[in-house]
Structure 1
Amino acid sequence: MAIIKPFMASRKFSSTIGSGTGTGVTFAIAATAFTDDAGAPATAFPGSFAYYVLYINAQPQTADTSTITTTTITIPGGDVLDGATPILIEIVVN
């Protein structure tokens, strides 16, 4: 039987689409382009988490919209959005 960790918390990171690089399937935004819950520049996304939710312009996105690592979030096709479009990532850690 798997061990269920009793602690859950979330970390939020915000940026804009204009902080991303690449085009099409390679469009990505570096973790360092985000600010964290405290308003400080982020250095990396959590390496271990239960799940994350990507919000584009305050709208939650489906799981197939992005992939995340400790250094970047990849949003295929995100380069077609307006550069001022807000991005929020909520990462639930345990």
Structure 2
Amino acid sequence: MENHEKDLQKAIKKLQNTREGNKLNDTREIQDGISYVIKDSKYQKTIEVDHSFNNIYISFNNNFYCCKEPPPIPTIMLTSQKYFSKVSNGTILGSDLIISVNSFVDDDGTPIEAFPKLYQYFNLYINGVIQQNGVGSVDPFQLTIKNGSILDKDDPISLEFVMTNTL
């Protein structure tokens, strides 16, 4: 990468820092915050930056550069899906309890056909108490509870799948 490209990237980074409210010692604002002059003490060069009209315009060493403003930082939102069943809906295999996805209903009481395939994590509640990691495992079609054979048949089972959505 040529030196002027490195300097240009450095200028853009300084501009981003300045626009986020971090005032730099070697930067001064002009024209009511629309333009910046960045004096780089290391390279003894002046870089003029104007970010009006949602663009960044950079004049550097008598060359003119234009690029789009950096994209906004995405907003990440957590969502969850909850499903409910009872121990009595499962079958015992060895000491484990296996509950088919068809035995679960959603918040509206509608039977479900598959658990989510993409999720960040899931919470397992037995009789309203959250369980530690490793007690349960899920695949799209069933929940397996280790040593679930000791549970009371009337204990409610709740599964909460937590997903992230980017806005």
Task: Give the shorter-chain TM-score range.
Answer: 0.7 to 0.9
Please state which structure has a larger fraction of its residues in strand. 2
Whole-Å separation in 2 of the counterparts to 1:23 and 1:76: 10
Whole-Å separation in 2 of the counterparts to 1:37 and 1:12: 6
Secondary structure in 2 matching 1:79: helix
- Between the two structures, name the one with larger relative contact order (CA 8 Å, sep ≥ 6): 1
Structure 1 or 2, whichever has the larger Rg, is 2
Secondary structure in 2 matching 1:32: helix
The aligned amino acid for 1:60 is: I
- Percent of aligned pairs with the same amino acid: 33
The aligned amino acid for 2:102 is: T
Structure 2: tracts of 5 or more residues without a match: 1-73
Other-structure match for 2:85 = 15
Other-structure match for 1:81 = 151
RMSD: 1.7
1:62-84 CA-to-partner distances (Å, cap 9, x unmatched) read 01101111101100111221111
How many matched pairs? 91
* 1:26 to partner: Cα distance: 4.2
CA contact (8 A) 1:17 1:83 kept: yes
Q: Give the alignment's TM-score, normalised by structure 2.
A: 0.51
Q: Give the alignment's TM-score, normalised by structure 1.
A: 0.88
Whole-Å separation in 2 of the counterparts to 1:65 and 1:74: 8
The aligned amino acid for 1:34 is: F
Secondary structure in 1 matching 2:134: helix
Whole-Å separation in 1 of the counterparts to 2:97 and 2:152: 13
Secondary structure in 1 matching 2:80: strand
* 4+ residue segments displaced more than 3 Å: none
Structure 1: tracts of 5 or more residues without a match: none
